[in-house]
Each structure stands twice: as C-alpha cells, then as structure tokens.
Structure 1
Amino acid sequence: MSQLQLEIKHLIIDALGLEDLTPDDIAADQPLFGEGLGLDSVDALELGLAIQKRFGIKIDADAKDTRKHFASVDSLAAYISANRAVA
C-alpha cells in the first residue's frame, strides 16, 4: 500500500466518521459505493470536500468521469497524483 493510498483511507475514515473501520479494512481496489464500502452521494460530497481541503484538488461533481475517480481508493490515488497541487 502506498503512502497516498494510506492517507486516502485515513481521510475516508475521518471525514465520514467511520471509526469502526481501520485502513486495513478498506481494500485499495474495493468499490467505495454500493456493494463495496457502501458510501452514498452525501458521503461523496463530504469526501470531495475533504479531498479538496487536504490535497488542494477540486473535483467537479458534474464532470462525467467523477464517478470513475471515486470508484475506489486506487482510482482516487491516481486522480490525486495526476492533479495534486505542487507544494
């Protein structure tokens, strides 16, 4: 697991109040919505805001590929890596 994946897992747990989960409970390729982790659209909004705050990345909720970016920890890590603001 990469450092970024671990950071995203912690962000998911903290931003969404999933205290009963640990990073090890979330597989990097596990779907975040529906049958996977079970997140919903409200969770997606909260997670999007947390990502924006933490990584300085705005995710356009109306973009057609937004769902693809939020599909799993792996896809979020790829999106963040490609769009992260250079600090």
Structure 2
Amino acid sequence: MDLKLELKEKLIDQLNLEEVKPEDIKDDEPLFGEGLGLDSIDALEIIVILDNNYNIKIGNPEEARDIFHSINTLATYIEANQK
C-alpha cells in the first residue's frame, strides 16, 4: 500500500475524522491550522501512530512542527527514519 494513503487512513481512524475520506486530504495540504485543522492533541495522536506503526519516536517536540506539516513531510520523515 502507498505510504501516503496508509498515513491518511491511520489519521482518519486514530483521530476519529468520520467526515473525512483519504482523498479529501491533499498530500501537500497543512495538517494543522487552515488545512485539515488538527490541534495539539491531534499531534500527540500522530506521535502514537508513528511509534506504534513505524517504530519511530520523536525525540525533540520542536521537530514535530516541521515533520507534521503535511502528509508529504510525514511520509518523507518515515521513509528516512523507519528502522
């Protein structure tokens, strides 16, 4: 399965985004703020997704802002850091 599609499905499931379909989330759209509209609680859930599904731990929370910018940045980070 395509990593970006997989990420979208995991976000929708984990964050209970019942009204959102994977195709509604654009790869380069911001996940926070004006894009998908996620908040800091959602960021914690994304950290859980990365840890549970990809064995990736975010060591520095300051990095998370850049990593979690969009589906593209998340996928790039996972590809670079997956063990």
User: Mind listing any 5+ residue stretches in structure 1 that lack a counterpart?
Assistant: none
Q: CA RMSD in A?
A: 1.3
Q: Secondary structure at the match of 2:30?
A: coil
Identity of aligned residues (%): 48
Moved over 3 A (4+): none
**Aligned residue identity for 2:9:** H
Q: 2:73 is matched with which residue? A: 75
CA distance in 1, matches of 2:43, 2:34: 15
**Offset at residue 66 of structure 1 (A):** 1.8
1:60 match: 59
After superposition, residues 1-87 of structure 1 pair within 5 angstroms as 3-62=2-61, 64-85=62-83
CA deviations on 1:26-80 (whole Å, 9 max, x unpaired) are: 0000000000100000000011111210111111253x32211000000000000
Q: Give me the whole-angstrom Cα distance separating, in 2, the residues matched to 1:30 and 1:83.
A: 22
**Using a 3 Å threshold, how does the CA distance of structure 1 residues 42 and 61 change in structure 2: closer, same or farther?**
farther
Greater helix content: 2
TM value normalised by structure 2: 0.93
Unaligned runs of 5+ in 2: none
In 2, the alpha carbon distance for the partners of 1:61 and 1:19 equals 30
